[in-house]
Amino acid sequence: MGGHVPPAVAIDQFQPASSRRPAIVTVVVLVAVALTVWLGFRATHQDPPIPSAAPSPTAPAATHAATSQNSDSIPFVNTFDNAQGVWTIDKVSWSGPRVVLTMTISVSQGQQLLGFFAFTNNDTSQAYEAQPTGAPDDLVGRVVRAGQKITGTVTFAMPDAESTVFLVDSSGRQVTALLISA
């Protein structure tokens, strides 16, 4: 019977081998969350392309001058700038490849920076930006605050055609739109 002594056993020998799997899963989950947050932020804060003010080279030249009383009105809610109010196009005056709109904007909440663009309804591939004229009643770039009502003009260099005019927020995104006739 000899003196063979079995080797000593330590409790640590029975622990499972350590794995890197939890660390890898944690990193993958964190990257996925960060990517989701980043994509969500970009989707809600991405600026749209700025419409071109140059008329389309294929646009037909208008040859008549026309004026009409429009008086189309629409309430608006600008969630980007936290503004609410009513926008009215009171008068539409065409003169060749140019239209002058007389409009009224009243703001009941917040403040609205006045910016506009338009499309002709028969060719929406070309956007037309409002042209600042420097006239005292020019509305482009003006700010209307809660409780204010302002009337003035907005000018577009565009073909004489039935069109849609857009009121935009301070980042250039559409808030609402009104139709104008040729």
Please report whether residue 151 resides in a domain: yes
Residues 69 and 130 both lie in one domain: yes
Q: Is the dihedral of CA 81, 181, 62, 154 positive or negative?
A: negative
Tens digits of per-residue pLDDT, 13-42? 667 667 777 777 777 777 666 666 656 655
What is the mean pLDDT of the segment spanning 116-137?
92
Residues 40 and 77 both lie in one domain: no
Residues 175 and 88 both lie in one domain: yes
Residues 92 and 37 both lie in one domain: no
Please report whether residue 50 resides in a domain: no
Residues 31 and 98 both lie in one domain: no
- What is the number of other CB atoms lying within 10 angstroms of the CB of residue 70? 19
As for how many domains the chain has, the answer is 2
Residues 36 and 90 both lie in one domain: no
Residues 35 and 96 both lie in one domain: no
Query: Hey, which bits of 110-173 come out as E strands?
Result: 111-113, 115-120, 123-129, 143-145, 149-157, 163-168
**133: domain CATH number?**
2.60.40.1240
Domain carrying residue 135 = 65-180
Residues 72 and 39 both lie in one domain: no
Residues 34 and 72 both lie in one domain: no
Residues 125 and 77 both lie in one domain: yes
Tens digits of per-residue pLDDT, 69-124? 556 899 999 999 999 999 999 999 999 899 999 999 999 999 999 999 999 999 88
Under the banding of pLDDT at 50, 70 and 90, the label for residue 125 is confident
Residues 92 and 31 both lie in one domain: no
Q: What is the pTM of this model?
A: 0.62
Please report whether residue 8 resides in a domain: no
Under the banding of pLDDT at 50, 70 and 90, the label for residue 55 is very low
Q: Which residue has the higher pLDDT, 59 or 94?
A: 94
